[in-house]
Amino acid sequence: MKFHITTFGCQMNVHDSDWLTRALESRGWEQADEGEAQVYILNTCSVRDKPEQKVYSELGRIAAHLKRDENIFAAVGGCVAQQVGRGFFERFPFVKLVFGSDGIAGAPNALERIAEGGDDRVALLDFVSIYEERETSEERTVSLPETRQAFVNIMQGCDNFCSYCIVPYTRGRQKSRLPDVVVEECRALVASGIREITLLGQNVNSFGQDKGGVGVSFADLLYRVAEIDGLHRLRFTTSHPKDIAPEVIRAFGELENLCPSLHLPLQSGSDAVLKAMRRKYTQERYLSIVEGLKQARPDIALTTDLIVGFPGETEADFQETLDMVERVGYESSFSFKYSDRPGVAAVNMEPKVSPEEASERLMRLQTLQNNITKKCLENLVGLETVAFIEGMSRKQNGEETFWKGRDPAGRIVNVAMPESDGLVGMMVPVRIIEAKKHSLMGERIGIPW
Ligand code: SAH
Ligand code: SF4
Ligand code: F3S
């Protein structure tokens, strides 16, 4: 069977899609271009209204392929699938499988049964209360991704119920994996040649604090993974500020391979809005975490998520967000207009901020962020660092070949190097020679390794 996966949403979805791809390939299925697939899989996101709407337009496009072959069918997975469930079967008769994030473990077998004509329609929407280990296909460790980077899930779900957020409803309660299983997976990946690992969870700082916990904290886990011989770069995402432990902050000063970057979603700079969002920290507490991090690791690059136009947000509240962005000096940030999600607490909060006002705030915030990003990048010109090469750069000028890499903090560094191949997955010593709007230019100053 030929399949085509389209993925929306966060890194956890990207990672889930990678796993599903490998699981199907190990059953002899083949990835195909959109025009040739027999099975279309959408891995969806419902965190805001826009990505949810994209799912429907994407299904409309898939419907057009039915003219080519009427046996073509689709599967919808991820957060919108969890939310809408069997509703997809009625609206789109060619959707034969819906699966939520807890149901994904059963998706490869279900797809096989449907393709063989054994099952007509399958819904895998039940939540589980303990992390369900998924089959590991040999390829995970045998065929090394060229980039030598890997994601490793450490947990699933979220218990925080921030008042704007649908994730706890679509991904279910928090379920941690067993620390030994996580460490073993990391060890096998490094043994197979992986050099960079990103530990993934909706709120990694509360790892182990659920039914699956065995008394190993996130800090303990970080130290255990960091000591794997041959692991050059370790990252993790996402961190909720309320749960970051002093030991995790300290780890940034102690673990050499823990990368000097942290994504620490602030959401709003106003204590009143933070309270309504149920974030359970204040501006002051957030700033003390930032101070601790900068003490532990002076070169740490902080990034964040921000929501503008949350119900009740006044101009003065928004000003506080702008002030926080300046004070912390984020290297970059993702900022979003508040979007009502079905069933979340904020839906009933008033007064709503008008879309015009929210757009205007978003623009002001993004202009400020662009200026700060520019300054952060300019400050790096002249410094020496190491770029971990991920592939060819999008910019090419005909004479030189540009490669795209990342410095330890995760900033994009483009480097001109004559080699036509063989550099992906290599570490290249570079000096930063220029700051662009969202990336850096580097020149090679040493031998790639
Ligand atoms: N677990 C992660 C975030 C997952 S959602 C965390 O807690 O950091 C990613 C981001 O989407 C959030 O940080 C938030 O900024 C944004 N977001 C979530 N719900 C939203 C909503 N209803 N409207 C607008 N943005 C939202
Ligand atoms: Fe959503 Fe909050 Fe959980 Fe993040 S911590 S996934 S924003 S409920
Ligand atoms: Fe989106 Fe679900 Fe991730 S809502 S952000 S795909 S957890």
Domain ranges of the chain: 2-124, 141-259, 263-379, 384-444
- CATH architecture for the domain at 263-379: 2-Layer Sandwich (3.30)
Measured CA to CA in angstroms, residue 266 lies from 214, 220, 302, 341, 369 at distances of 29, 25, 11, 20, 14
47 within ligand 3 shell (Cβ under 6 A):
yes
5 has pLDDT over 90: yes
The CATH number of 2-124 is 3.40.50.12160
The pLDDT assigned to 184 comes to: 96
CA distance 174 to 238: 13
Q: Are 239 and 262 in contact (CB under 8 A)?
A: yes
Closest CA to 246 of 193, 278, 277, 288: 288
Measured CA to CA in angstroms, residue 56 lies from 1, 6, 122 at distances of 24, 13, 19
Residue 30 CB partners (closer than 8 Å, separation 6+)? 1, 2, 3
**Helix residue spans in 149-282 (DSSP H):** 167-170, 179-191, 218-226, 246-254, 271-276
In testing the pocket of ligand 2, which one of 162, 244, 304 has its CB within 8 Å of the most ligand atoms? 162
**Nearest ligand, measured from the Cα of 8:** 3
Per-residue confidence band for 446, with pLDDT thresholds at 50, 70 and 90: very high
Which residue's CA lies nearest to atom 5 of ligand 2? 160
Among the residue ranges 39-48, 250-259, 415-424, the one predicted with the least confidence is 415-424
CA distance 262 to 264: 6
Instruction: Give the ligand 2 atom nearest the CA of 202.
Output: 6
Q: Who wins on pLDDT, 337 or 143?
A: 337
Instruction: Give the ligand 3 atom nearest the CA of 47.
Output: 4
Centroid of ligand 3 to alpha carbon of 421 (angstroms): 35
CA distance 226 to 331: 25
Give me the mean pLDDT over the 158-187 stretch.
96
Amino acid at 438: H
Closest CA to 74 of 122, 30, 11: 122
Among the residue ranges 76-85, 105-114, 233-242, 397-406, the one predicted with the least confidence is 397-406
Q: Determine the topology of domain 384-444 in CATH.
A: OB fold (Dihydrolipoamide Acetyltransferase, E2P) (2.40.50)
Give me the mean pLDDT over the 288-308 stretch.
98
222 has pLDDT over 80: yes
What digits encode the pLDDT tens for the residues 98-146?
Answer: 999 999 999 999 999 999 998 899 999 999 888 988 887 555 544 567 8
279 has pLDDT over 60: yes
What token pair was written down for 70? 């009427």
Say whether 263-379 and 141-259 share the same fold.
Answer: yes
Query: How large is the greatest C-alpha to C-alpha distance in the chain, in angstroms?
Result: 63
Which residue's CA lies nearest to atom 24 of ligand 1? 338
Q: Which residues are bridge partners to 31 per DSSP?
A: 3
What digits encode the pLDDT tens for the residues 71-89?
Answer: 999 999 999 999 999 999 9
Per-residue confidence band for 160, with pLDDT thresholds at 50, 70 and 90: very high
Which residue's CA lies nearest to atom 1 of ligand 3? 45
Q: Are 47 and 128 in contact (CB under 8 A)?
A: no
Which of these CATH numbers, 3.30.70.1890, 2.50.20.10, 1.10.3720.10, 3.30.750.210, describes 141-259? 3.30.750.210
238 within ligand 1 shell (Cβ under 6 A):
yes
Backbone angles phi, psi at 437, to 5 degrees: -65, -45
Closest CA to 210 of 157, 152, 133: 157
Average pLDDT, the chain: 94
